Structure 1
Amino acid sequence: MTIIRTVEPADAAGEVGAIYAEDVASLGYVPSHTRVMATDPGALRAFEQLAGSIADGLGPRLYELVTLAAAKALRSEACLLAHGRRSRALFDDAQLARIARDHHDAGLSGSEVAAMDLAARLSTDAASIAEADTERLRAAGLTDRQVVDVVLAAALRNYYSRALLALAVPPDVPPDLPDDLRRALLDGLPGDGDPGSRASAR
């Protein structure tokens, strides 16, 4: 459990209140990660602005795929669950479960698989990435802007996910996320797909 003292939704005012209100409007509640990161609302807004610019360059589908690949490599339950929920607007649940378990066997395009591979590599061993790794994205048909944005999307997920892990932010399970999909998103992580057991362990 995080040691950060967060503002209760009923007490939120100013920019923190505005941030909370946006989550209530879109999700129906204020997730733990929003409450903790809104401790520095300016930094959270800057993150959102950067994420929006990167997503504009990649399009929502590729942005979410890269985000999921980085979050999985980082073992970030909070980001897997949050972006798994968001990705339901882009994929049906069956394909999304396949993507979560093995994106190489999920009916994705060659460029999408290459982008997810690079995102996972950046999240686990960035120092080993060579020119050939990014050249693979160009060979798969991505533009220079898209290559840059794939790397930025993965790097941005590393920033946010690692911050949540370092602050011991407990993951929230979106109430509208089906159990089967939740298990697929968390497949391979400790705790048998139960984020509550891992949160309490921290």
Structure 2
Amino acid sequence: MSFLHDRPDAPDGRPNYERAFDWQPGIYAGWQTLSAAVRASLPPRLYELATLAAAVELRSSYCALAHSRQLIGLGMDGDAILAALRREGLSPLEAAAMDYASAIARDAASVEPEAVERLRDAGADEATVSALAATASLRCFFAKYLDAVGARPDPDYADLPPALTSALVLGRPIAAG
């Protein structure tokens, strides 16, 4: 599951990302609250696409697989998700949001005003821009924490389309079943 030892009182059947916070339940509770607020500030598909872009930039297999599964739940198939990674088949706002999230995850201090202007030109207001910044920034924390403690994607992610798992397992491999 991770480099950390499981708590002896930890119930079985929980996802690895949850178990990775067993020794820091307050941090996990704070993450859940903040994550819910950020998620509620964007349309679901836009949130998931921006999250996926940040996860890929961070080479977070776990987050990339998890948010691809969310996109599948929103009606995208594996081919559409792979196309989105190339910024194909997206609205101008979705493509700009993915690029912005990638840039934040790569090096937030290097994000230029032109990136925000591109979002505005695609129809984003200030609340959307700030929500996208929060989405990518929060993903940086979560993805880096999971990788830092060695949490691997749960075995059920191996059930995603093979081309998708091949493209998205960029860091830690999927845990054995």
Structure 1 and Structure 2 fold alike (TM over 0.5): yes
Give yes or no for the alignment of 1:7 onto 2:7.
Answer: yes
Q: TM-score of the superposition, structure 2-length normalised?
A: 0.87
The structural deviation recorded for 1:134 is 1.4
Give the paired residue count.
174
1:119-177 Cα shifts (integer Å, max 9, x gaps): 11111121111222212211110111110000000000000011111112222242542
Give yes or no for the alignment of 1:195 onto 2:173.
Answer: yes
Larger relative helix fraction: 1
Q: Report the equivalent of 1:141.
A: 123
Contact 1:31-1:172 at 8 Å conserved across structures:
yes
The structural deviation recorded for 1:5 is 1.4
The structural deviation recorded for 1:2 is 2.9
Q: Report the equivalent of 1:127.
A: 109
The structural deviation recorded for 1:93 is 2.6
- Consecutive unaligned residues in structure 1, runs of 5 or more: 21-28
Aligned match for 2:165, one of 165, 174, 182: 182
The amino acid that maps onto 1:116 is M
Q: TM-score of the superposition, structure 1-length normalised?
A: 0.77
The amino acid that maps onto 1:3 is F
CA RMSD of aligned residues (A): 2.2
Q: Report the equivalent of 1:43.
A: 27
Q: Report the equivalent of 1:26.
A: none
Matches within 5 A, 1:148-167: 148-167=130-149
Whole-angstrom distance in 2 between the partners of 1:38 and 1:178: 31
- Consecutive unaligned residues in structure 2, runs of 5 or more: none
By relative contact order (CA 8 Å, sep 6+), the higher-ranking structure is: 2
Range 32-41 or range 139-148, more displaced: 32-41
Q: Report the equivalent of 2:62.
A: 78
